[in-house]
């Protein structure tokens, strides 16, 4: 891993929000200590801060910030990783962007594409980098499949099948705010499927229109959807299907099947398998957990490590990160269209998005 230096010192990082997903970020930052220094953490709950510091050790012990303003005023902080729920984010972004802090935020950017666009605009106005944590792009199989698509070797793209057969028990949704529009912005689409949808869009290109059904099954008591099925038409004329679920007990790895002129490719877990029309079969990556079952955190932290390192490099070299805020808006717009299509029982166009 190359080292990232900023003004002759290691880049400083602050972490806001130390809930469930903070585990992956903490382990990633531990492995990146030659390049990045975790200067401090912030959580509204003191006991959570104490537990975090007792669980994760660093070469330099991070401080406990008392407020967001304290982070904004800390000149040793270059990057802030924001892990709060999307409904608790806009004021944080305003304060930190105005202070010149570069921001890497957990998905989703916000609860709707309109609200997400406001965050992107705030960061652009203050000329700070905005990155979104879509770590699936860092899987070995995904990177190889991206290379093949961009090279043109696969030929014309014709069809896609996108499947997210995940499982969450009722206890998951009994946690305050989960599966609600007020906190999460929705259900399976914006909370679970969003990662796979972002990766799929990076491989297929833009979507022209969708026609969907999004509903809550009897298997969960929750406000938003836990099952979605949709037909998709892409801008190049290709077609596709989508199923996304948290009712698929016991849960399985998400998968993307892409069909091209010269080959078909299957991305599943961390593996991509390409079946060439001339008989060759190429496999990249190894099977591994992705959080599709009862344990949402059953995945390695290496993907987060690569994504954080990429964002640091973007700050140093003044370039766009792997998934910028603008890029992240595309999957938000797709999700909004899917939900709208179901509610209005009609096809919804995205061509003007």
Does residue 316 share a domain with residue 247?
no
Q: How many domains does the chain have?
A: 2
Does residue 143 share a domain with residue 92?
no
Does residue 165 share a domain with residue 47?
no
For residues 301 and 24, give the distance between their C-alpha atoms in angstroms, rounded to a whole number. Answer: 5
Does residue 262 share a domain with residue 296?
yes
Does residue 250 share a domain with residue 218?
yes
pTM: 0.91
Does residue 290 share a domain with residue 165?
yes
Per the structure, the complete domain to which residue 81 belongs is given by 5-135+304-323
Return the residue matching tokens 């602050």: 14
Does residue 177 share a domain with residue 66?
no
Return the pLDDT at 241.
Answer: 98
For residues 15 and 82, give the distance between their C-alpha atoms in angstroms, rounded to a whole number. Answer: 6
What crossing angle do the helices spanning 194-204 and 140-151 adopt, rounded to 10°?
20
Return the pLDDT at 298.
Answer: 55
Does residue 157 share a domain with residue 115?
no
CATH number of the domain enclosing 112: 3.40.50.720
For residues 2 and 169, give the distance between their C-alpha atoms in angstroms, rounded to a whole number. Answer: 41
Does residue 243 share a domain with residue 345?
yes
Does residue 295 share a domain with residue 167?
yes
Residues 303 and 264: beta-carbon distance below 8 Å: no
Does residue 173 share a domain with residue 142?
yes
pLDDT tens digits in sequence order for the chain, 353 residues long:
334 444 446 899 999 999 888 999 999 999 999 999 999 999 988 889 999 999 999 999 999 999 999 999 999 999 999 999 999 999 999 999 999 999 999 999 999 999 999 999 999 999 999 999 999 999 999 999 999 999 999 999 999 999 999 999 999 999 999 999 999 999 999 999 999 999 999 999 999 999 999 999 999 999 999 999 999 999 999 999 999 999 999 999 999 999 999 999 999 988 999 999 999 999 998 765 555 555 555 557 899 999 999 999 999 999 999 999 999 999 999 999 999 999 999 999 997 65
Does residue 181 share a domain with residue 114?
no
């Amino acid at each position: 891993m190359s080292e990232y230096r900023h003004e002759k010192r290691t880049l400083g990082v602050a972490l806001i929000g130390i809930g469930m997903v903070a585990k992956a970020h903490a382990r990633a930052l531990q492995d990146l200590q030659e390049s990045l220094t975790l200067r401090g953490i912030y959580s509204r709950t003191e006991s959570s801060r104490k537990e975090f510091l007792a669980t994760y050790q660093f070469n330099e012990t991070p401080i406990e910030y008392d407020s967001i303003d304290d982070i904004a005023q800390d000149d040793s902080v270059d990057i802030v990783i924001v892990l709060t729920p999307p409904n608790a984010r806009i004021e944080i972004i305003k304060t930190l962007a105005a202070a010149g802090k570069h921001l890497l935020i957990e998905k989703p950017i916000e609860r709707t594409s309109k609200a997400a666009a406001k965050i992107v605009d705030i960061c652009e106005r203050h000329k700070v980098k905005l990155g979104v944590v879509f770590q699936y792009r860092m899987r070995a199989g995904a990177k190889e499949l991206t290379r093949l698509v961009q090279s043109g070797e696969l030929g014309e793209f014709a069809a896609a099948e996108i499947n997210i057969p995940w499982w969450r028990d009722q206890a998951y949704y009994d946690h305050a705010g989960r599966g609600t529009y007020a906190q999460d912005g929705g259900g399976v689409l914006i909370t679970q499927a969003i990662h796979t949808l972002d990766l799929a869009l990076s491989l297929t290109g833009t979507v022209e229109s969708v026609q969907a059904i999004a509903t809550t099954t009897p298997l969960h008591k929750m406000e938003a959807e836990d099952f979605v099925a949709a037909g998709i038409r892409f801008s190049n004329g290709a077609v596709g299907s989508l199923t996304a679920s948290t009712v698929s007990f016991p849960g399985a790895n998400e998968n993307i099947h892409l069909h091209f002129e010269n080959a078909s490719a299957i991305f599943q877990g961390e593996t991509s398998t390409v079946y060439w029309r001339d008989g060759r079969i190429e496999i990249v990556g190894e099977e591994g957990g992705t959080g599709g079952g009862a344990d949402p955190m059953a995945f390695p932290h290496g993907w987060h490590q690569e994504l954080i390192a990429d964002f640091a490099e973007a700050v140093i070299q003044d370039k766009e990160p792997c998934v910028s805020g603008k890029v992240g808006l595309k999957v938000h717009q797709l999700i909004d269209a899917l939900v709208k299509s179901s509610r209005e029982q009609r096809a919804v166009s995205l061509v003007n998005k």
